[in-house]
Amino acid sequence: MDVIALIVLSFVGYIVAYRLYGRFLAKRIFKISDDGPTPAKRLEDGDDYVPTRKEVVFGHHYTSIAGTGPIVGPAVGVIWGWVPAFIWVFVGSIVMGAVHDFGSLVVSLRNDGESISECAGRLVGRRVRNIFFAIIFLELLIVISIFCLVIALIFNMYPGAVLPVWCQIPIAVVLGIVVYRKGFGLTISTAVAVLFMYLTMAAGIKAPFSIPADVVNTLHMPATGIWAVVLLIYAFVASILPVTTLLQPRDYINAWQLFVAMALLVLGALSAGLFHGMGIVAPAFNLHPEGAPPLAPFLFITIACGAISGFHSLVSSGTTAKQLKLESDALPVGYGSMLLESVLALLVIVAVVAGVGMGYDSDKGHLSGVAAWKAHYNSWQNAAVGLGAKLRAFVAGSANMIETLGVPRNLAKILIGVFVASFAGTTLDTATRLQRYIVEEFLNDVGLKKLSNKYTATIIAVVTAGVLTFVSGANGAGAMTLWPMFGAVNQLLAALGLLVVSVYIKRYRGGKAHLVTSIPCVFMLSMTLWAVTLNEINFIHQEKTVLALINAATGVLAVWMAIESALVLVSEKQSSPHNGADNGTPEAS
């Protein structure tokens, strides 16, 4: 299929899906209404619960769920062929991912903005809540630790990205002050903030920064380890600050950075396709690539955020539900942002299956066409092992396309580097804050209310992540010990999130309305438990005892939760919402 036709048809499909299926879910399934106050209004505290314009919440939510997932996953997943990758990204996002995100957001909105694990406790039972807490804590523990490493590695790979990424913090803080305290208009303030952000990128090219060798030698710690310590300290500070001080404005301006980058990718793809003969050089199907796991179930595990991701339910039911001013904003923020993330994943696919063909530097020299694609995707080892391998094809393909617009290649690479590092940073911010919420709720539920404050909870979140980060040495790569099981855990969480939403729909809508989430739930549960089983066999064979034990425990807990929730789903009879639940207030316990 022609690249331009693929992009145009996909974009039209996303728009139609939003207008038809998204609105159907909002009107018929969740019965969205603005008659009652949202948790942000009812529980407003100026810290976590802050009613906010949907444009700003959209920016926060979108950048939090995007991270590097919709880049890395598709860039690896195309090794099985561009057709399976494209179908999963396009169809999966419409009928699974966006439904999962939207449903998690609505359920949280109607339960005081509580996390999905607390909502599971209300809807199913205490044991399920505790199981969900354990799985979520493990997921966020890995996310915080791994994103410290990801950002550190990106800083090493692209020293020119260091200055602009850190400069985003003061720019965001000033943006929050002028908008919230001084009353300046959002449009003009945004334009100025984005302008300054791009000026810092230009400065980053002129002044690349690397950790000095003297500092490395003095601390007896490699640069990645030093960056990891700095990032963990930053994550602690960002988590305890009011949401309007840093998290919201930083995510918001990062969203505009993402919009600009996506626009450049779209225009670059159109320019390259129309005027430079760019075409798809990857095979449509490549079912048995060298060294790769089987397509099923691992395609659905490898390509996560671009189609569906359990992490999204944590963002929806963590920070986002505490900021929505109106319940109707849940449709564009929950359903719409997932579709836009899928657009990003689609552009990544275009970059690595077509853009790479315009030129790729390999150990065999500068290649183009099919040879360029094969040089990177000739084996799983070459394409998927290490962050550099995962990003190399995307950066090369994107730079090739953007260069056709007259943007210098070095600048294009810096733009992509800052783009990736910035979104890893927003995910780190949000994940730490989410872990804080999860720990606060758990401590409160087990009777330790005096400890359930943001300082204690954040210390627990950061210290546990720090232990994992440095468990294997001073390089900060400790999270890699658990990384092989992360994909399956993340997608397992998506299946369990869909299960909770299904129970909610069955209880308050009755009939077969729950099929919109229960069918995707069954599919994801099947794929992920299959992957967990294959991983367990592999871990045992490789004598990775720790991974085998944690992976097995996670699988058992997930099956236990699924059985208890399924029993409730089957026996649940339709109830009338209590306390005006459909108007944004919480259901009765």
SS (H, E, C) 504-569: HHHHHHCCCCCHHHHHHHHHHHHHHHHHHHHHHHHHHHCCCHHHHHHHHHHHHHHHHHHHHHHHHH
**Pairing status of strand 360-362 against strand 365-367:** antiparallel
- Packing angle of the helix pair 126-157, 545-571 (nearest 10 deg): 130
Lowest mean pLDDT among 480-494, 511-525, 558-572: 558-572
pLDDT at 587: 40
pLDDT grade for 419, boundaries at 50, 70 and 90:
confident
DSSP string computed for 160-211: GGHHHHHHHHHHHHHHHIIIIIS---HHHHHHHHHHHHHHHHHHHHHS----
Read off the DSSP letter of residue 578.
Answer: S
The phi and psi torsions of 378 (rounded to 5 degrees) equal -75, -15
What is the distance between the alpha carbons of residues 50 and 56, in angstroms, rounded to a whole number?
Answer: 12
What is the distance between the alpha carbons of residues 293 and 487, in angstroms, rounded to a whole number?
Answer: 13
Q: What is the mean pLDDT of the chain?
A: 91
pLDDT at 583: 40
pLDDT at 158: 82
pLDDT at 370: 95
What is the distance between the alpha carbons of residues 60 and 52, in angstroms, rounded to a whole number?
Answer: 11
Of 549 and 576, the structure prediction assigns the larger pLDDT to 549
pLDDT at 584: 39
pLDDT grade for 582, boundaries at 50, 70 and 90:
very low
Instruction: Tell me if 343 sits within 8 A of 11, measured CB to CB.
Output: yes
Lowest mean pLDDT among 79-93, 229-243, 571-585: 571-585
Look at residue 418 and tell me whether its pLDDT is greater than 50. Answer: yes
pLDDT grade for 127, boundaries at 50, 70 and 90:
confident
Dihedral, CA of residue 563, residue 564, residue 566 and residue 571, to nearest 10: 140
Share of residues in the chain with pLDDT > 90 (%): 69
Task: Give CATH for domain 3-583.
Answer: 1.20.1740.10
pLDDT at 585: 39
pLDDT grade for 491, boundaries at 50, 70 and 90:
very high
Which amino acid is it at 233?
I
Query: Could you check whether the bond before residue 74 is cis, i.e. omega within 30 degrees of 0?
Result: no
pLDDT at 581: 45
Please write the tens of the pLDDT for every residue from 260-272: 889 999 999 999 9
Instruction: Tell me if 376 sits within 8 A of 360, measured CB to CB.
Output: yes
Q: What does the pLDDT average to over 449-463?
A: 93
pLDDT grade for 576, boundaries at 50, 70 and 90:
low
| C-alpha pair distances (Å), 31 with each of 106, 119, 323 | 10, 18, 20
pLDDT grade for 580, boundaries at 50, 70 and 90:
very low
Q: What does the pLDDT average to over 521-525?
A: 95
> Where in the chain are the domains?
3-583
Cβ neighbours of residue 12 closer than 8 Å, sequence gap 6 or more: none
**For the chain, what's the residue count?**
589
What is the distance between the alpha carbons of residues 434 and 314, in angstroms, rounded to a whole number?
Answer: 7
Lowest mean pLDDT among 303-317, 330-344, 555-569: 555-569
Look at residue 521 and tell me whether its pLDDT is greater than 90. Answer: yes
pLDDT at 15: 97
What is the distance between the alpha carbons of residues 344 and 86, in angstroms, rounded to a whole number?
Answer: 12
What is the distance between the alpha carbons of residues 589 and 507, in angstroms, rounded to a whole number?
Answer: 13
What is the distance between the alpha carbons of residues 492 and 311, in angstroms, rounded to a whole number?
Answer: 10
What is the distance between the alpha carbons of residues 385 and 290, in angstroms, rounded to a whole number?
Answer: 13
pLDDT at 156: 86
The structure tokens listed for 376 are 């990177």
The Cβ of residue 183 has, within 10 Å, a number of other Cβ atoms equal to 7
Q: What does the pLDDT average to over 322-338?
A: 97
Look at residue 511 and tell me whether its pLDDT is greater than 90. Answer: no
Read off the DSSP letter of residue 481.
Answer: G
What is the distance between the alpha carbons of residues 56 and 324, in angstroms, rounded to a whole number?
Answer: 10
Cβ neighbours of residue 393 closer than 8 Å, sequence gap 6 or more: 75, 351, 352, 356, 360, 376, 377, 383
pLDDT at 69: 81
pLDDT at 388: 76
The structure tokens listed for 7 are 């992009």
